[in-house]
Amino acid sequence: KRQQIFEIIGTFSAALVMAPVLNLLIQAYGIAGTPTAKENALPAPQAFLMAKVTEGVFTGNLEWKMIYIGAGIAIALIILDEILAMKGSKFRTPVMPVAVGIYLPLCLGVPIFIGGLIRYLVGKARGDTGEGPTDPGVLGAAGLIAGEALMGIIFAALIVGGIAPSLGFSNNLLGVLLLAGIAAWLYMMGKK
C-alpha cells in the first residue's frame, strides 16, 4: 500500500514538473524537425521516426522498400544470433542495438559506442560481465546521464533568461580532453 501511495505521489510530481521543463527546453532550443527548431535543436530520433512512419502510413507515401530492407536485416541478424548461440560463441548479434544504431544520429551513436567500448574493456580487465545494477561503472554512467540532463535544463533556463553561457574560446579541444578524462574515470570506476 505504501509503495502505491508513493508511486502516485511520484506520478503527480513528475506531471507537475514535466510541462514547465519541456516548455523551457522548447523555448531555449526547440525540437529537431518541428517549426520551433533552433540552431542547436534537441534531437528526438524516436519521436521523429514514429512521426515519419505514421505520416507515411496515413498519406500512403511510406517507403515500403526501406521497411522490407530493415525487416530483412533484422531476420538475418536473428538467424546469425541463433547460429552463434548454438555454437556457444560469446559474440552475439542482438537486433535491438543494431536497430537503434541505424536510426540514431551519429552525435548520439558515437557516445553509445564509446560507452560500449569502455564496458568491453572493463569486462576484459575484470574477467566478468559487470552488468549488475549496483556495478560502480553502471552507477557512474547513470550519474553522468542524469547530470547531463540537469545541466541541459540549467543551460536552457540561462538561455531563456538572456544569459548565453560561453567560454569565450573554441571549446572543441576542451571537449575532447573532458571526454578522455570521463572515459578514464568510467574505466576506473568499472574496474572496482
Q: Quick one: 135 and 190 in the same domain? A: yes
- HSE-CB at 147 with a 13 A cutoff on CA atoms is 7
Predicted pLDDT at 30: 86
- Each residue's pLDDT tens digit, 13-52: 998 999 899 899 888 888 887 787 888 888 877 777 788 8
Spatial distance between the Cα atoms of 53 and 72, rounded to a whole number of angstroms = 18
pLDDT at 104 over 60: yes
Q: Quick one: 126 and 184 in the same domain? A: yes
Q: Quick one: 52 and 9 in the same domain? A: no
Helix (H, G, I), strand (E, B) or coil at 90: coil
Predicted pLDDT at 82: 95
- Segment 4-8 shows an average pLDDT of 93
- Segment 90-112 shows an average pLDDT of 84
Predicted pLDDT at 133: 63
> How many other CB atoms sit within 10 Å of the CB of residue 75?
11
- Provide the pLDDT confidence category of residue 4 given band limits of 50, 70 and 90: very high
Q: How many domains does the chain have?
A: 3
Q: Quick one: 95 and 146 in the same domain? A: no
Q: Quick one: 97 and 121 in the same domain? A: no
Predicted pLDDT at 131: 62
- Provide the pLDDT confidence category of residue 176 given band limits of 50, 70 and 90: confident
Q: Quick one: 112 and 70 in the same domain? A: no
Spatial distance between the Cα atoms of 188 and 140, rounded to a whole number of angstroms = 10
- Each residue's pLDDT tens digit, 42-97: 887 777 778 888 888 888 888 889 889 999 999 999 999 999 999 999 888 889 88
Q: Which residue bears the cell 503527480?
A: 12
Q: Quick one: 75 and 99 in the same domain? A: yes
Q: Quick one: 37 and 11 in the same domain? A: yes
Q: Quick one: 73 and 93 in the same domain? A: yes
Q: Quick one: 37 and 48 in the same domain? A: no
Q: Which residue bears the cell 579541444?
A: 173
Predicted pLDDT at 75: 96
Predicted pLDDT at 175: 82
Domain that holds residue 5: 1-43
Q: According to the 3-state scheme, what is the secondary structure of 12-69?
A: HHHHHHHHHHHHHHHHHCCECCCCCCCCCCECCHHHHHHHHHHHHHHHCCCCHHHHHH
- Each residue's pLDDT tens digit, 140-165: 888 999 999 999 899 889 988 888 76
pLDDT at 185 over 60: yes
Predicted pLDDT at 10: 92
DSSP per-residue codes, 105-140: -HHHHHHHHHHHHHHHHHHHHHTS---STT-HHHHH
Q: Note whether 152 and 31 are within 8 A (CB).
A: no
Q: Quick one: 8 and 64 in the same domain? A: no
Q: Quick one: 133 and 54 in the same domain? A: no
Residue 31, strand partner residues: 42
